[in-house]
Every structure is written in C-alpha cells, then in structure tokens.
Structure 1
Amino acid sequence: MTTAKAAALSVKQQNSILDAEHRINIWEGAIRSGKTIGSIIRWLTYVRTAPPGPLAMIGKTRDTLARNVLDVIADIAPNAISYTRGASTARILGRLIHVIGANDARAENRIRGLTLAGAYVDEITVIPEAFWSQLLGRMSVPGAKLFGTTNPDNPAHWLKKNFLDKEKLPADHPERPDIVSFHFVLEDNPSLEEEYIRNTKASLTGLWYKRFILGHWVAAEGAIYDMLDEEKHTAPAPHPSLWRRGWIALDYGTSNPTHALLIVLTAPAAEGGQNTVDERLHVVAEWSHDGRAAGQLTDAAISQRLASWAGPLIEDLPNPPLVVLDPSAASLRTQMRADGWPGIRSADNRVETGIRNTSSLVAGGRLVVDKEKCPILWDQLCGYVWDETALQRGVEQPVKADDHGPDALRYGVMAAAPVWRAWLPGLAGEDLARAT
C-alpha cells in the first residue's frame, strides 16, 4: 500500500480535467500515474451536466470495471454512487448508468439500440475494435462525449493508429477525429511516495518497463526473456530441507510434448549465521514426454508416470504441492483426480500476464532454474521469442514451437502469486497478478 503525501491534484491532472472538452478524451501512460483519478473526476462532472440520454461505463468485464473505477468512485465520493457488484446498471449522481463488459467481439451487440449521451471506457486497448466503433456510433446525442483510460500497447494497435496518431493532424484535416489525449508518468501522481515509485520501477523489466513505467507505445520484439543470464538465473536446487512449498505445473499434449515442472519456494540458505539469498522460486525438476517422437500415452499412463517422477521429489515438502494443469487438459485432470492426486486445479492461462509476471521475478532474482535438472526448460526459455508475423498484425504472441516448458512455467508462476506478491511491493503485488 502507498501513503498519500498530498491531497491536491497534480498540475497534469488538473489540466486534463479542464481540457477534456472534446468528443473523445483519453488519459494514457504509465501505471499508477494518476490518470484514472483525473478521468474519474472529469467523468463525474460530466455526469452531472451531460445532456439528457443514457450514459454507459465500459470495461473488459464488469468486475474489472468495478475494481478499477466504480470502487474508486465509491472511495472518493461514496454518496455519489449506488452500485451492486455484478449489476448491469448503477446510479451516479442520480443518473442511470449502463455497466457493460466488452470482453469479446460479440460484446458490440450489448450496446445496439442505445442512443448514448456519454460513455466512460476503462482500459481501452483491451476493448475489441468492433465494440469501440459501435460505441462511437451510438454516441449520437448532441454534445455526447467519451472519456477513457489506457496503458500503452503495441504501436500497431488500432487505438494508436486510428485515433492517438491522428490527433497530431491539423485541426481542419478531414481524417482528424475530435480527440484530445493526456500522457501521464508516475511522477504525475502526487499521492505516490518516492520509495513506492522506486519499487514500482524495479518491479518491471524490458517491454513492460517501457510501456508501464515510461509510458511508451513500443512493440514486442526478439527474445521474450531477454534478461536471462545463466550465471544469475541458474543454480543447483538447494537441499530439500529448505523447500517450504511446492507447485507442479503441467502443459499437456497428446501428439505434442507434455511438460511438467516442480517449482518450490526455498527458504534463505544460511552461512555463518547470515542469509545468503532471499526467498525465491526454484524450478528443481522437470518431466517431459514427446508423444510424436516416443508414442502417445493415455491419460492414465501420464498420471502414473507423473506420480513416479514426482513422488520421491515431494516427500520432504511440508505439505502436498498444488498441481496446476493446462486448462485444455480436462481429461487428464479427471484422470489424476481419480488416481488420488490432491490439490489439482486449472491453470491461469493469461499469456501476457503470465509472461510479464515471470519476467519480473526473473529480473528481480526471485526465480531461478536448476539447469542440470531442467535442461529442456532452460533451452526453451532461452529460445522463447515473439512471433514476428503476428506482430505485423498488431498481435503479440510467442512463437508456437518449443514452448511447452515456458507455458508450464508461467502456469506455475501464476499459481504461486500468493507468495511472490509480497516480493513486489512497488505494485502491491496485485497489479502484476492480474491484467493491467
């Protein structure tokens, strides 16, 4: 948590509130930079004075909108809002507000038929372009305005190309939308302590540092884990007496490889009464079977072989490990439960979020690999790259080849979030644990 050092708004926030008088008004830039507060205050003033007609607030889901925006309104102006979590409408300053989740292209159907007098959009870059286009078309009440926030994304993203870049065109240019944007960095938020800013900057690396700290619209390119250093990020597994918790993470394949990892939380090792390392996650063992090269295995056979592999390794853990499986492995999950595996759950498969969290832990020295015991994983991590063909379409995704180890690793990292949140104080753990 952070401690407020000033109640006043920053100059950047004040100017954005005063200058947001266009049809489209966007606050963009670094995380925790004060852009949401500025946009909310402007939205509240608009709700009070907006022309008659329906108003809408949109997020990727209703839950993310509630967490990112509605809860903030309730904190800063509790008497201004009446909202039941999950409901499709809210009341803000007496006005009825439609609360809409726009998490896929079909979401545009949810606003068909509305004639809007205004809208607020949280995290614009995660909204489908078709929904955004439909939303602008539905803002047909004279004087209707849209207010929204976003973190930077790929420079080929439709919001950047079709709106933010066109803001630079001359005012009388036929392709220039009626838009204004405000760019924020961490220092524009007066409520942040300097220590929090330092810790936040230390919590991100590479692509996400450039986007979420510097606020730059930059493309992913090259190696995904470009910070990997064999000397820093590989180490022999410590003695099992130092293992405190464990996670078995598995990426499932039938003709493709099935890859399992054992990740453990290790206590600080002591030497002469002094701790030599902090607590960290250590990948200490792997199991892999390539169905194409060695023949396909039944789910029952995979379960049995995993048990033979994991059994001796987890004997010294204080409690049975949590087992997280590829969400597509429904049949294997059923088989393993029937075989008596405890603590099985479906993995969190948010690719970018998992990669971002893994990158932060690696860069901070909080995630290491026993290279001798996990040679396949280490080789795949070093060769894990962004798909250049997809990047040209504005889509960021890893190359789908030799990625089963990295996939299993991010499953395990996401499952271990309750542990590593405490290691990333700059973001209070929560921001890296969910999509930003």
Structure 2
Amino acid sequence: MTDTRACLSVKQQDSILDATHRINIWEGAIRSGKTIGSIARWLMFVRTAPAGPLAMIGKTRDTLARNVLDVIADMAPSAISYTRGATTARILGRLVHIIGANDARAESRIRGLTLAGAYVDEITVVPEAFFTQLLGRMSVPGAKLFGTTNPDTPTHWLNKNFLKKERLPLDDPDRPDLISFHFNLHDNPGLDREYVRGLMAEFTGLWFDRFILGKWVAAEGAIYQMLDEKRHCVTAPGSGLWRNAWIAADYGTSNPTHAVLLVHTAPLIRDGTLITPERLHAVAEWRHDGRAAGQLTDAQISARMAAWSGPLLERSPVAPGTVLDPSAASLRVQMRSDGWPGLRSADNRVDVGLRAVASLISGGRLVIDNAACPHLWDEMCGYVWDDAALERGEEQPVKQDDHGPDALRYGVMAARPIWRQWLPELGLAAEQNAA
C-alpha cells in the first residue's frame, strides 16, 4: 500500500492514530478530508484485522464504489480488486463483502454473518435497524467499525444514540466504545482557494451550516430565506436567449394545479462585459384552484395548459420538456394521449430538490419573473419548514400553499444536466442519491 502520510493533514493523521475504538466515526463538512482519513485507517485495519469476514456498506453498491472503492483504487491501485456491481471485493488480499443498505430490507443482507470489521459510507443514510444489526454482527474479538457521515438533524438516531453519548463519563454503562472526529471545510488544506470559495457559494442557510461548517443543526423558519425581490425578481428575457425549456406541473383536484414554464437562458454579454450569467428563469405560470373555481377533468386541465403554453412556446427556439407530478397518473395518461412533448414524471426527491433550488437562488442562478408568476413568488416567500414534522425528527415543508414551489422544484430537477455544471457538488450528490 502506498504511504499516504506525506499528503495527509495533521487532523487526518491524528484521527488515524486515535481510531482504535470499536466504533470510529469521521463526521463533518463535505470535502473536508474525512473520507481520505477514514479510508487510510480502514486499509491499515484490513491488513491486520482478526480472521473473519469483512464488510463495506453504502447506500447502494454503486455509491459505495464512487465514494470509497474508487478512492482506494486511486490511493493504492494494487490494494484492491473489484468489478463494478459485484457483491465482493479483494482488499489487501482479504475478501470483503460489498453491501447496499438503502431500505428496510437491507437488514436481511447481513444476517448470518459474523464480522471481524466493517466500513460504512454515509452512516446517516443507512437505516437504523441495519446499523444496529451490523454492530451485533461484529462479534469477532477485536472487530471494529469505521464510518463517515455528513451532519443531519440533531435528532437523527446516529447523533442521538451514538455521537452525543460519546460525551458521557468513561465509566457510564450507556457510553459506547466510540470515538468521533469532527471536520469542517477548512480542515482540508489541500483544497484550492477558488474551489473552496465556489463551494461555499453553492450552499446556503441550513445546508451551509451542515455541509460547509459541519454542524448538526435543525431546519427552521423559511426554507428560501435568501430570496430578495431586488435580486431574484427579474423580467423574462427575450426568447432569443432561451436554450432549454421545461413545463413543470404540480397536480391537484380540489387543491390547485400549478404549472411553471422554466427556461435555461444563455449569458447576456454587451461590449465584452457579462451582464447576466447563464441561469434558470421562471418566466410564466398557469394555475387553477379547484376549490375556488370548480374542479376540472384531466382533459380540461390538459387543454387549458396547452392553451396557456402554446403562445409562449411558439416563439421558443427550443422544444420544451414536460415534467409532471409523479402522483398524477391519470393526468399523465391524458396528456400523453394529447401529445404533450417530452412528457415524464418528475424527480420528487424533496431533500435534494430543496437543496438544489436554494443553492441556485443563493448563487443568482435561479430567478423569477414575479409579474408573470405572482402566485409562485408569493408561495416561495412563504414556504416554511413544518414544526410538527421537525419534532418527529423529519424535515418537511408545510403542505400548504406549496404547489408553485413543488412545480418549480420539479423543473429544477429536470434541469439537472444544466446546473450540475454550475454546482458540481450538488449535481454529484443528486446522482449518488438517485443510484
């Protein structure tokens, strides 16, 4: 194995030396060096681990390969032999089980194993029952667990049942044999300053506290607290600047159905000076409130949306995609028969979508024509976290006056191939969560 000490920070080296407990966790900001430190320690353990099976776990085998196995191959090519998608790998000559743990059924995948050691990538996305079962399976004398995670809500089971208990007195029977190492972005001195500055601009509010500062903080208040009318309310540009377009719709029967036209615009340059950057722009909306104005059939909704969007798209130089609320199965059938272009179900991963929208707004890459989209703007400004859900340890928006924000989020997620070039960390996270 290649000696990596010369390129490790002091904090990484200290964590490697101190990770001698049964449970060893590297937690904190993205790109802070925690993964490299944990991998180096894991390889040292594999070389000297007691006899018995070893396991490496991620949300999926594919995300584990991207986040960890590929890094091992870069750090020490001769140390690992692994075929993408396989259920086992050879690391320093030892057989290692490669396991995905993305749902409640994952627990059954380790039943029957008696493990001598384990590595877990992104512990917070692993089901608690699986993690508990994993610790129970590590019954070989000298078995150890090594893992990484970004912070989550303070009430997350990992923080509540493990990390907080590290602060208990050494002789307290409830204190686990655990050590954790906290990293923030500035603990990785090898990062380029411009890259760090760009990364810090990608995250805002809750996500800045977690992914940049590495804090375990709860969501509270307005979700898009960075919205500024002077900065984010912008008149729709001429269609000559349109490069891509999406009609994104949230569906309701008695609740409102809300559609948004989102366009990707080219940068505006005058006399060699950049006036506006390449960005996403909500330029128009259509809305029908079934409670206030009477319910419409799916055929009526499809026809009225077509009448609204037709004149807008006649002047568009690009063919739009159509992104529909994934729960709107009957409307999707109707719209397909009506010939809506590029019709597909929306990516409805709320956490990834909220983070992407917030980061694009914060970076000035997502703006709204509030004169053309008054309902959308009002709902975005009033979009808040659900306090009752937070008390249960869940982070969810209040399900009220949320149809415009949902539609916009669907459009933004459909535009991921565009914005992942502007926000590479978020784009990578979205791809990994989708795996």
Same fold, judged at TM 0.5 (above): yes
Match of 2:144 in 1: 145
* Displacement after TM superposition at 1:399 (Å): 0.8
In structure 2, C-alpha distance between the alignment counterparts of 1:346 and 1:7, rounded to whole Å: 49
- The amino acid that maps onto 1:8 is C
- The amino acid that maps onto 2:27 is E
Match of 1:3 in 2: none
Match of 2:33 in 1: 34
Q: Which region of structure 1 is more displaced relative to structure 2, 164-173 or 267-276?
A: 267-276
Match of 1:336 in 2: 335
Match of 1:280 in 2: 279
* Displacement after TM superposition at 1:433 (Å): 6.0
1:350-387 deviation digits (Å, cap 9, x = unpaired):
11111111111111111111111111111111111001
In structure 1, C-alpha distance between the alignment counterparts of 2:263 and 2:141, rounded to whole Å: 59
* Displacement after TM superposition at 1:317 (Å): 2.1
Equivalent pair of 2:121/2:147 in contact (CA under 8 Å): yes
Gaps of 5+ in 1: 1-5
Task: Give the 3-state SS of the residue equivalent to 2:421 in structure 1.
Answer: helix
In structure 1, C-alpha distance between the alignment counterparts of 2:89 and 2:296, rounded to whole Å: 52
In structure 2, C-alpha distance between the alignment counterparts of 1:433 and 1:58, rounded to whole Å: 18
- 1:310 equivalenced with 2:288 (yes/no): no
In structure 1, C-alpha distance between the alignment counterparts of 2:38 and 2:9, rounded to whole Å: 13
In structure 2, C-alpha distance between the alignment counterparts of 1:42 and 1:275, rounded to whole Å: 47
RMSD (CA atoms):
1.9
1:6-405 → structure 2 map (5 Å cutoff):
8-271=7-270, 274-405=273-404
In structure 1, C-alpha distance between the alignment counterparts of 2:316 and 2:6, rounded to whole Å: 48
* C-alpha distance 327-10 of structure 1, shift in aligned 2 (>3 A): same
Q: Which region of structure 1 is more displaced relative to structure 2, 233-242 or 8-17?
A: 233-242
Task: Give the 3-state SS of the residue equivalent to 2:31 in structure 1.
Answer: coil
* C-alpha distance 86-299 of structure 1, shift in aligned 2 (>3 A): farther
Gaps of 5+ in 2: none
1:192-234 deviation digits (Å, cap 9, x = unpaired):
1111111111111111111111111111000000111111111
In structure 2, C-alpha distance between the alignment counterparts of 1:88 and 1:337, rounded to whole Å: 40
- The amino acid that maps onto 1:84 is T
- The amino acid that maps onto 2:246 is W
Task: Give the 3-state SS of the residue equivalent to 2:74 in structure 1.
Answer: helix
Equivalent pair of 1:353/1:434 in contact (CA under 8 Å): no
In structure 2, C-alpha distance between the alignment counterparts of 1:152 and 1:411, rounded to whole Å: 26
Equivalent pair of 1:421/1:428 in contact (CA under 8 Å): yes
Equivalent pair of 1:208/1:356 in contact (CA under 8 Å): yes
Task: Give the 3-state SS of the residue equivalent to 2:207 in structure 1.
Answer: helix
Task: Give the 3-state SS of the residue equivalent to 2:169 in structure 1.
Answer: coil
* Displacement after TM superposition at 1:408 (Å): 1.1
Equivalent pair of 2:60/2:101 in contact (CA under 8 Å): yes
Task: Give the 3-state SS of the residue equivalent to 2:314 in structure 1.
Answer: coil
Task: Give the 3-state SS of the residue equivalent to 2:158 in structure 1.
Answer: helix
* C-alpha distance 50-332 of structure 1, shift in aligned 2 (>3 A): same
Task: Give the 3-state SS of the residue equivalent to 1:276 in structure 2.
Answer: strand
* C-alpha distance 435-191 of structure 1, shift in aligned 2 (>3 A): farther
In structure 1, C-alpha distance between the alignment counterparts of 2:52 and 2:312, rounded to whole Å: 64
TM-score by length of 2: 0.94
TM-score by length of 1: 0.94
In structure 1, C-alpha distance between the alignment counterparts of 2:89 and 2:287, rounded to whole Å: 51
* C-alpha distance 393-300 of structure 1, shift in aligned 2 (>3 A): same
* Displacement after TM superposition at 1:315 (Å): 1.7
Identity of counterpart residues, as a percentage?
A: 73
- The amino acid that maps onto 2:281 is H
Task: Give the 3-state SS of the residue equivalent to 1:147 in structure 2.
Answer: strand
Equivalent pair of 1:8/1:190 in contact (CA under 8 Å): no
In structure 2, C-alpha distance between the alignment counterparts of 1:68 and 1:221, rounded to whole Å: 30
